[in-house]
Amino acid sequence: MLNEVILNYILLFIILEIYEISWQKAPSIMGMLIRMNKHYSKNILLFLIMHPTFYFAVGFVMLTNYAPSAMILLFVKTFDIATKILLIEQVFKKRELSQELSLILLAPINSFLPYLGLLFYPILILLAI
């Protein structure tokens, strides 16, 4: 019974994470920001709704009675969204970008990078239960 519950949580999270990866994936961080800005510029609520793993993390923290690994998952997901919003604001709204940050954002990223969460986050879910 417990194994099924754990598997269901992990599978649900993987499905939600794959959804997020699919609409954000690009060859560079700037490409990812451009894709995210399309939704952010329409409505910040739309942008936030398109991050279902954050809401999963909030619910999961409550279900696990604030287990430390669940709290880590929530912290990482919160930091992820906050960083994306800050970068979108910096790049597209304020249009203030240092040369170093420009080089970082335009550098190609490994195609494996967006999928790292699929390895890291399920471990946190497993540890929380």
pLDDT single digits (tens) 64-98 = 999 999 999 999 999 999 999 999 999 999 888 88
Distances (CA, A) of 98 to 64, 111, 126: 42, 25, 40
Could you give the angle at the alpha carbon of 45 between the alpha carbons of 42 and 50, nearest 5°?
90
**Placement of tokens 């420009």 in the chain:** 102
Q: Which domain holds residue 14?
A: 2-128
- 52-71 b/e with 16+ CB inside 10 Å = b? bbbebbeebbeebeebebbb
pLDDT, averaged across the chain: 92
The pTM for the full model equals 0.89
Domain count within the chain: 1
In contact, 56 and 18? CB cutoff 8 Å: no
- For residue 35, the model assigns a pLDDT of 95
